[in-house]
Structure 1
Amino acid sequence: MSLSKSLSRSQALGCTLAAAACAVAGAAVAQTAAPPGAPPVPASGEPVQRVEITGERSGGEVRERRESTAAKTVIGREDIERFGDASLGEVLKRLPGVTLDGAPGRGGSPRLRGLGNGYTQILLDGEQVPRGFEIDSLAPEQIERIEILRAPTAETGARAVAGTINIITRENFKRRANDLRLSLGLEDGRWSPGLNWSRNGSADALAYTFNLNALNSRVRAHTDSVLERGPSGGAPTLRREETVDSEIERRRLTFNGRLQWRLGEGESFTLTPFAIYGEGDSRRHATLAQQSSDPDNKVPWTQADPVGHSRFTLARLSAQRNQRLADGTRLEWRASAGRWLYDENTLRPETGGADPALRYDDAHISDRSWSASVKASTLLADAHSGVAGVELEGARRREQRSNLADGVPLLPAFDDGLQARSQRVAVYAQDEWDINPRWAAQAGLRWESIETRSEGVDGDRRNRSAVWSPVLHTVWKFDAKKRDQLRMSLSRSYRALTLGSLVGSPVVSTQNSSTSPDRAGNPALRPELATGLDVTLERYLGGGGVLSAGVFHREISDLVRNETRQEGGRWVNRPYNVGDATVQGLELEAKFALREVLAQAPALDVRSGVSFFRSRVHDVPGPDNRVDQQPGMTANLGADWKPRGTPLTLGGNLHWTPGYVTRLSAIETARVGRKPVFDAYALWTFNPSLALRLSATNFSAPDFVRGSAYDNAALNLRESSQTVNRTYVDWLLRLEMKL
């Protein structure tokens, strides 16, 4: 099915309007620009010398995007710190085509093109993120820039069906800085203080940068859940209503740095330490009420008051050696080692009802990892430059879980825990070819193999996969000024299997049912493979603005999807390979100063983007047989305004994701509600060394609704559930000082 046919009428109209807006902006810019040819002639008739001064407000980010052969978007410090966000996830959600899987204002894992977990490759300083790493554990002040690649390259890796997000931490200084930022957040009457200190400098051959971030957050959560169960096709015979109020306090300390020694012309040695320590405490109060037509089906408990504690530690040290050989070849050697530990325990006393219990859940996860790589870059011939490299990576994980009810193990077979290890090898080569001043191309080939072994109650399991990934990127510039250009990419990518999806250690559900099952891995999984096409048309405006329109298409084989099935009398949710799927979409972006379009307009900077998505899982009946967790569209509209003659800057952003239903199988569906998120900020600059920023995240504070349904005629069982999470406005006041 073509993309134009798959768009609904309303979305097609929105798409047309957005495209028209881009076209009108481009036409207006073209009309206001001076025509080529002879210099302008004043009223006197005397020709005058024409002097043209151009510049880009956003530094080199737009220039880097324009000159890259592979489609790349670069977000610099100005955009990262604009709203004064407390977490990096809030920054990412305002970028074109990016969605988060969490509730509004609660962050979550970032996703490109609406595709769920695992389709988007996340890199930290060009390397795979440490295991257990979460985006929200990083503060925006620790980030130098963010690079988004919509299609894979041989160098950055092919585990990027939707694309790659590369997070670059603060780099060695270009100018000396000693910045201190003190913040105070407020959410539903609870205060959250924070501190960030950034320092850089140099001493002889050493250049250094470090960043320290501390945050103590206090949040409240309120959840209402409804479960209905009955015969297939009939009225519900059971209805349970559960309400949970939570008080959560989290303390986090994050450190990252960069030490670089200059060893000579083009040579250096760099150490990059990265560490996170976090812990949290939670108190919850839950009530459960039940209505049932079956007198034997009694409510298991009526009140529960769980308390929990968690602790998380992550440390990684990376080293990089840049070396230049006599023939001009540049070598880059990298090595890193890391470890993360996670401990969590919850004591849950349940009272009332027919089956009260004292439950205790304990989890301990330990993971050690290492990586090593070497990359060579050289000029192959006139207009050709080549890159080739080898990557090695290994990890060992140990997981121990204990689930007790009144001191009795629920799953005694898993008490010995589980051990797993993985090893990855990759080899790649890439050629960048400047064919002529208007045309450039990049071709690459990557081979990657991942092997996983696990030891547990299921015995010793082994999973091995290997993928060849050819990629081709090309860009055509329509004129010598490089203002308009067309990009195209052909690629083969894949979705890697994680240890969590492979290992068999289950997570037990306290109310086991078809809509609230246990969760476990599947050692027999195969990786998903995807063949993709990307085409993008871009126009770059004189002041650093960008207008862009692009389409993409992916053919996915061996799609992995979680399904719920009965195993030994319990409902268990595991991932399975369920067949093939098609994913496609249209992406529009416009970023410009309003004065570039209308000369007399106020000093307003506009940022907007709208993306439409369509997907179909072939072996699942429709309608709504979309790929997991992919909405039909997402949109962003933001603007910044600096009133003339004042030290004040104002800005806002609206992020919109509509609700949608996903058919997981012939008998299972999932539903996600709409997510409108409005953010705003005000910045008062007292002087170049002192500023005060006030921001409000999730200003509209909508309820976040999710649900699922299971209807199995063979078992004569129908079950549905709905969860409503209340959200809150998050205020943040931050004092920014340059010491």
Structure 2
Amino acid sequence: MKTHAIARACALVCLSAVLPAGLVLAQDAPPGMGNEPTAGKRLDRVEITGRNTDSELRRRAPVAKQIYGREELDKYGDTSVADVLKRLPGVNVSDGAPRMRGLGSGYTLILINGDPAPPGFKLDQLDPAQVERIEVTKGPSADQSAQAVAGAINIILKEAPRVSQRDLRVGAGYNINHPVPSATFTFGERYGPVSLSLPVSGFQWLQEMEASTERPGTDANNLPVVATQHGKMRNWGHGFNSAPRATWKISDDETVSLQGFAQKGWWNNSVRLTPDAVYTSPRLDDNADNKGTWQMLRANLQWNNRFSETQKWELKAGVQDAKNHIENRTLNPQAPVDALLDSRDRNVTQAGKYSQILGEEHTLTVGWDLEFRKRDEVRETTVSGQDQLPALNGENFGARIRRQAFFIQDEWEINPQWSTYFGLRHERIVTTSTGVNTDARNSSSVLSPLWHLTYKLDPKGRDMIRASLTRSYKAPELTQMLGRYTLNSKFPSPGQPNDELSPDRVGNPALKPELATGLDIAYEKYLTGGSLFSVGLFHRNISQLIRNVVTLDPASALVPVPRYVIRPTNFSSATTSGIEMELKGRAGELFPSLFEPKLPLNLRSSVSVYRSRVKAVDGPDNRLDQQQPWTANLGFDYRFSSIPVTTGANLNYTPVYTVRQTDRQSVEYSRNRGLDVFAQWTFNPKTSMRFSANNLFPLDARSETTLAGGDYYATGRGLKPWFQLNLEMKL
């Protein structure tokens, strides 16, 4: 019976995301079966507690959001939060950075405990064991940053425990050659009114992939061929992180907490490529050895005081310091290129808000958010031991951002079925960029009106419609504003021309923020056992779109010949729209005619479809950078009754697609498939072992950049699966 049930599940999970809503939503909650809010009471504003399920917290939220707690964080035994995020509906991960709604880096706001994550923060090096839950919000709110064009991902770190805690997780991962270890130990204790928590994680990695490049050229006889290279790319390193926390409960209404965070790591990268033949042209890629270190330290102090049942203050202050050291060596026998880069990012933040409950319907909040951020960067590049650009070598380039924000918001419970949220946030941003022949200052203001509306089709809130109308923005990164000119390593001599597919790089101190107006509409249905179905539509109008543009710059005092240069530019305006569907829950609740009600089988699926258009580029394929046309997630997990084992799998798929970046250049991305599986054996309530395999049966990754004249440059990556074995103990 169980074997047939699992077989039916595998078939149904592939269809569940596209089933008619009437089939999935056939069950309504009988009266009195759940913890429904009672009319006239303020249950939608209760404090979050550990007893609430993820679905219940999501249902009660005043704005549309998805919430994932310990079950989702622990399921696959991941050692990286980035690996958890890649399986969430509507989220994909590229180069360790999560992205929502198919939009590129920077459109998704990353928050740590509700505050914007600082530069240098690496989610792919954060252990999920240090995280309490993840909240994915579809639109910005006034009390957080409005830099959430695609949405926001809030990483809530674990709080100091109320009782003694000694948790240990040790593991080993394998990709090539030999296993690499990882471990996390969490110490927690309470001393009277003070609670302390000290989690420490250490990890190593060793990964390898097949690498290839190809480009049209000529052979030794000057006949046209496709010049190709094949080889390997290897990455290895180690690091640690810790998120200590101390909470002092002064009274039932007043608390002070100090949250720290520290990351440090050492990484290495080696590229070895061999030409498949002797070619006269083009200039192919060189072998390279790269290594570096990163370090990030952060501390946040927070004071909360509830003066009465209707008044509450919250004050916060934080400091952060991040350093990066990178050494790149291009192994060109004729002209080896050595580059040293040292950068430092520092920021200071201070924020506060005051909340007042007005009558029985309104919660009014006012507050402010101040930030000062700076980046300093020193680069030294030599070719055959000689300075490449003497005027720039060793010179400091810097960028600064000063941000001042003030906001007001009102959460209004109109009646048991209608509630709304009004917010207004004003941010003023001043940016400066300094360096050799660079001294630029920019200022801009963004006024962000925000409106969220929730309508419960029934007073119990099992069926609801959410709508949002928001104004958000995307500020340029400090690295994009640095005016340093960097030559392409394939053409390291400033006196020789390069080609359009191998441009130099330079920042743009004059960049302005992108502005976006967004509309979101979603339907959500919650079943009594925790299952849910949701479907949402969104649309964004984006102005002052930033895109990297390649131009042929004339000769200058720094570079005496014309060379192609890529620089970020406020390029155009754009629109993007999409539909996102999600279905998850117990198989017996979702499909009662096919599965037994008590069958311990959970199903989950999601499908997201995206469309976009950049006005300054002719179609077709004039979409936003790296926005896939659609993506799908399918998964299940099953708990055996005869043995203490839980197992499951998740499949993610993205099709091949093309992006026209400009009228002269387009990029094609290959399809992507990721299959993850896990099995957990629970020996007793304090000890368990978990095996997981990520990226089973992967497809080779390929990207191809093509110019209007037909020249192209293609890279390929042969990916390998990652295996992980963890032993988890509560001491």
TM-score (norm 1): 0.89
Task: State how 1:528-567 maps to structure 2 within 5 Å.
Answer: 528-567=514-553
Establish whether residue 139 from structure 1 lines up as the match of residue 135 from structure 2: no
> In the alignment, which residue of structure 1 is the partner of 2:83?
90
Structure 2 CA distance for aligned equivalents of residues 680 and 657 of structure 1: 18
Residues 116, 145 of structure 2: 8 Å contact kept:
no
Equivalent residue for 2:478, pick from 489, 499, 514: 499
Establish whether residue 403 from structure 1 lines up as the match of residue 400 from structure 2: no
> In the alignment, which residue of structure 1 is the partner of 2:3?
none
> In the alignment, which residue of structure 1 is the partner of 2:618?
621
Residues 230, 276 of structure 2: 8 Å contact kept:
no
- The code of the aligned residue for 2:328 comes to T
Structure 2 CA distance for aligned equivalents of residues 22 and 80 of structure 1: 29
Q: Give the drift of 1:326.
A: 5.8
Q: Are residues 708 and 580 of structure 1, via their aligned partners in 2, closer, same or farther at CA, if it must alter by over 3 Å?
A: same
> In the alignment, which residue of structure 2 is the partner of 1:79?
72
Q: Give the drift of 1:275.
A: 0.2
Structure 2 CA distance for aligned equivalents of residues 305 and 112 of structure 1: 34
Q: Give the drift of 1:54.
A: 7.4
What fraction of aligned residue pairs are identical, expressed as a percent? 34
Establish whether residue 663 from structure 1 lines up as the match of residue 656 from structure 2: no
- The code of the aligned residue for 1:70 comes to V
Q: Give the drift of 1:590.
A: 0.5
> In the alignment, which residue of structure 1 is the partner of 2:112?
124
Structure 2 CA distance for aligned equivalents of residues 479 and 383 of structure 1: 19
Structure 2 CA distance for aligned equivalents of residues 298 and 572 of structure 1: 21
Deviates more, 1:357-366 or 1:568-577: 568-577
1:177-197 deviation per Cα after TM superposition (whole angstroms, max 9, x unaligned): 311000000112332100011
Establish whether residue 577 from structure 1 lines up as the match of residue 570 from structure 2: yes
Q: Are residues 651 and 21 of structure 1, via their aligned partners in 2, closer, same or farther at CA, if it must alter by over 3 Å?
A: farther
> In the alignment, which residue of structure 1 is the partner of 2:237?
250
Residues 253, 307 of structure 2: 8 Å contact kept:
no
Establish whether residue 524 from structure 1 lines up as the match of residue 524 from structure 2: no
> In the alignment, which residue of structure 2 is the partner of 1:728?
720
SS in 2 for 1:62: helix
Q: Give the drift of 1:87.
A: 1.0
Task: State how 1:247-326 maps to structure 2 within 5 Å.
Answer: 247-288=234-275, 305-325=287-307
Q: Are residues 479 and 582 of structure 1, via their aligned partners in 2, closer, same or farther at CA, if it must alter by over 3 Å?
A: same
Q: Give the drift of 1:309.
A: 2.3
Q: Are residues 175 and 536 of structure 1, via their aligned partners in 2, closer, same or farther at CA, if it must alter by over 3 Å?
A: farther
Residues 229, 718 of structure 1: 8 Å contact kept:
no
Establish whether residue 465 from structure 1 lines up as the match of residue 444 from structure 2: yes
Residues 656, 675 of structure 1: 8 Å contact kept:
yes
Q: Are residues 453 and 164 of structure 1, via their aligned partners in 2, closer, same or farther at CA, if it must alter by over 3 Å?
A: same
Establish whether residue 361 from structure 1 lines up as the match of residue 339 from structure 2: yes
Structure 2 CA distance for aligned equivalents of residues 175 and 74 of structure 1: 25
Establish whether residue 595 from structure 1 lines up as the match of residue 588 from structure 2: yes
Q: Are residues 198 and 15 of structure 1, via their aligned partners in 2, closer, same or farther at CA, if it must alter by over 3 Å?
A: closer
Structure 1 CA distance for aligned equivalents of residues 297 and 34 of structure 2: 48
- The code of the aligned residue for 1:734 comes to N
- The code of the aligned residue for 1:573 comes to I
Q: Give the drift of 1:693.
A: 0.4
> In the alignment, which residue of structure 2 is the partner of 1:158?
146
Q: Are residues 718 and 457 of structure 1, via their aligned partners in 2, closer, same or farther at CA, if it must alter by over 3 Å?
A: farther
> In the alignment, which residue of structure 2 is the partner of 1:387?
365
Residues 422, 451 of structure 1: 8 Å contact kept:
yes
Q: Give the drift of 1:577.
A: 1.6
Residues 642, 648 of structure 1: 8 Å contact kept:
yes
> In the alignment, which residue of structure 1 is the partner of 2:169?
181
Structure 1 CA distance for aligned equivalents of residues 412 and 437 of structure 2: 51
User: Which runs of 5 or more structure 2 residues have no equivalent in the other structure?
Assistant: 1-12, 37-48, 491-497, 556-561
Structure 2 CA distance for aligned equivalents of residues 516 and 222 of structure 1: 22
Q: Give the drift of 1:207.
A: 1.1
Establish whether residue 69 from structure 1 lines up as the match of residue 62 from structure 2: yes
Residues 238, 291 of structure 1: 8 Å contact kept:
no
Q: Give the drift of 1:291.
A: 6.2
Residues 34, 528 of structure 2: 8 Å contact kept:
no
- The code of the aligned residue for 2:255 comes to S
CA RMSD across the alignment: 2.3
Q: Give the drift of 1:719.
A: 2.2
> In the alignment, which residue of structure 2 is the partner of 1:20?
19
Establish whether residue 475 from structure 1 lines up as the match of residue 458 from structure 2: no
Q: Are residues 566 and 410 of structure 1, via their aligned partners in 2, closer, same or farther at CA, if it must alter by over 3 Å?
A: farther
- The code of the aligned residue for 2:253 comes to G
> In the alignment, which residue of structure 2 is the partner of 1:213?
201
SS in 2 for 1:330: strand
1:665-703 deviation per Cα after TM superposition (whole angstroms, max 9, x unaligned): 111101111111000000000101111100000011221
Structure 2 CA distance for aligned equivalents of residues 236 and 682 of structure 1: 55
> In the alignment, which residue of structure 1 is the partner of 2:41?
none
1:517-545 deviation per Cα after TM superposition (whole angstroms, max 9, x unaligned): 22221112221111111000000010111
Q: Give the drift of 1:271.
A: 0.4
SS in 2 for 1:152: coil
TM-score (norm 2): 0.90
Q: Give the drift of 1:327.
A: 8.2
Structure 1 CA distance for aligned equivalents of residues 571 and 277 of structure 2: 36
Structure 2 CA distance for aligned equivalents of residues 327 and 169 of structure 1: 27
SS in 1 for 2:57: helix
Residues 197, 213 of structure 1: 8 Å contact kept:
yes
Equivalent residue for 1:632, pick from 625, 629, 632: 629
Establish whether residue 429 from structure 1 lines up as the match of residue 426 from structure 2: no
> In the alignment, which residue of structure 2 is the partner of 1:47?
none
> In the alignment, which residue of structure 2 is the partner of 1:377?
355
Q: Are residues 144 and 189 of structure 1, via their aligned partners in 2, closer, same or farther at CA, if it must alter by over 3 Å?
A: same
1:249-278 deviation per Cα after TM superposition (whole angstroms, max 9, x unaligned): 211110102100011131111100100010
User: Which runs of 5 or more structure 1 residues have no equivalent in the other structure?
Assistant: 1-13, 37-50, 103-107, 712-716
Residues 54, 542 of structure 1: 8 Å contact kept:
no
1:415-439 deviation per Cα after TM superposition (whole angstroms, max 9, x unaligned): 2130222111110000000000111
Residues 336, 370 of structure 1: 8 Å contact kept:
yes
Structure 2 CA distance for aligned equivalents of residues 268 and 57 of structure 1: 19
1:351-370 deviation per Cα after TM superposition (whole angstroms, max 9, x unaligned): 3xxxx222211110012111
1:642-668 deviation per Cα after TM superposition (whole angstroms, max 9, x unaligned): 122220101000011111100011111
Establish whether residue 709 from structure 1 lines up as the match of residue 706 from structure 2: yes
> In the alignment, which residue of structure 1 is the partner of 2:191?
203
SS in 2 for 1:436: coil
Structure 1 CA distance for aligned equivalents of residues 525 and 550 of structure 2: 48
- The code of the aligned residue for 1:608 comes to S
1:396-431 deviation per Cα after TM superposition (whole angstroms, max 9, x unaligned): 211011221102222333221302221111100000
Structure 2 CA distance for aligned equivalents of residues 497 and 307 of structure 1: 30
SS in 1 for 2:711: strand
Structure 1 CA distance for aligned equivalents of residues 144 and 159 of structure 2: 19
Establish whether residue 674 from structure 1 lines up as the match of residue 653 from structure 2: no
> In the alignment, which residue of structure 1 is the partner of 2:39?
none
Aligned residues: 685
- The code of the aligned residue for 2:57 comes to E
Equivalent residue for 2:489, pick from 510, 513, 532: 510
Equivalent residue for 1:445, pick from 384, 402, 424: 424
Q: Are residues 647 and 301 of structure 1, via their aligned partners in 2, closer, same or farther at CA, if it must alter by over 3 Å?
A: closer
Residues 181, 196 of structure 1: 8 Å contact kept:
yes
Structure 1 CA distance for aligned equivalents of residues 214 and 162 of structure 2: 56
